Amino acid sequence: MSIAKRKLGKSGLEVSALGIGCMGMSFGYGPAMEKQAAIKLIREAYEMGITFFDTAEAYGPFENEKLLGEALAPFRQEIVIASKFGFKEGNSNKGQDSRPERIRQVAEESLKRLKTDVIDLFYQHRVDQTVPMEEVAGTVKDLIQEGKVKHFGLSEAGVQSIRKAHLEQPVTALQSEYSIWWREPETEILPTLEELGIGFVPFSPLGKGFLTGAIDKNTRFDPSDFRNIVPRFSEENRKSNQALVDLIGKIAAKNNATPAQIALAWVLAQKPWIVPIPGTTKLHRLKENIGSVHVELSKEDIQEIDEGYQKLGVKGDRYPAHLQKRVGR
């Protein structure tokens, strides 16, 4: 199966039009996958044409990077690995830490875990209010000059932070949540990225699984699943938000596709410099996601989705309040 390539903004960094977010294999959505099964899935993604793999020291912590290091070693030269820094001791529960010495430490340790001599794309995981953005970008600039990192990225940053960072060291990509049911980036973020020539890497393009149609008001999540604390996933809100999933299902039937494929095709149709990174732990879902790159939505389909979103709305915040404080600054 071939996947078209896309360039992330003006940077020249070329990746498959669809990447894979590997977090859920180790962290965040219930128990971690069995290691050999995860390695097999990652290698199958590569065999099917995916060349863009996303991880972070905080996923596990550390386990996801180790997993990718082992899984991707046989074809390291053909792929792009993105990882992230920015949390104390690599633990997202311990608060932020983007001090220059910490960034350098993360880079060295991530290189070892990833079994590589260069990180293709190194993101700041969340903007750190205690460290000036110029210092963060300057530190990554030094790592780029030293040949340890190729490209600099930001995650969930606001316009002001993006502009500050970009002046110091050109930003290759911004990674933030974006999907049919989370449209906030359209207001200020996407126009800024377009102006500066920065690529966009949406995570949760399937609405953390909701837009696939596989989750309804009766779904029960594993106790360790992050979605248990997400307001949008309360039983009552899932019930309200079902109408949007039903609309996507209707458009899917018309296009001989699945709801997940429609949700991904919609993201891909927004801009040619957008590369979504859906995550999965299942081979059939991986194949389904990859199929989305061949789904061509008509102008009418896109209009119907957008009008449905305006009319139906979405109930519930995408993060609980304590996590919402970390984004968009």
pLDDT tens-digit series, residues 81-111:
999 999 999 999 999 999 999 999 999 999 9
- The answer as to CATH 3.20.20.100 being correct for domain 5-206+271-295 is yes
- Which residues are within 8 A (CB) of 74 and not within 5 positions of it... i.e. 6 or more apart? 43
Give the pair of three-digit tokens for residue 307.
Answer: 């009008």
Q: In this structure, are residues 264 and 206 in contact, taking their beta carbons and an 8 Å threshold? A: yes
Whether residue 314 is predicted with pLDDT greater than 70 in this model: the reply is: yes
- Whether 1 has a pLDDT exceeding 80, the answer reads no
Q: Tell me how far the alpha carbon of residue 213 is from its chain's centroid.
A: 20
- Residue 78: pLDDT band (50, 70, 90) is very high
> What are the domain boundaries of the chain?
5-206+271-295
Tens-place pLDDT, residues 269-292: 999 999 999 999 999 999 999 999
Tell me which residues are annotated as active site: 59
- Judge contact between 327 and 319, C-beta under 8 A: yes
For residue 238, the surrounding DSSP H or E stretch is helix 235-254
pLDDT > 80? residue 205: yes
* CB of 182 closer than 8 Å to CB of 276: no
Q: Residues 8, 51: contact at Cβ < 8 Å?
A: no
- Output the CA angle 218-222-227, nearest 5 degrees: 75
What's the average model confidence in pLDDT over 2-12? 95
**pLDDT for residue 2:** 80
Asked if residues 125 and 86 have their Cβ atoms less than 8 Å apart, the reply is yes
Global pTM? 0.98
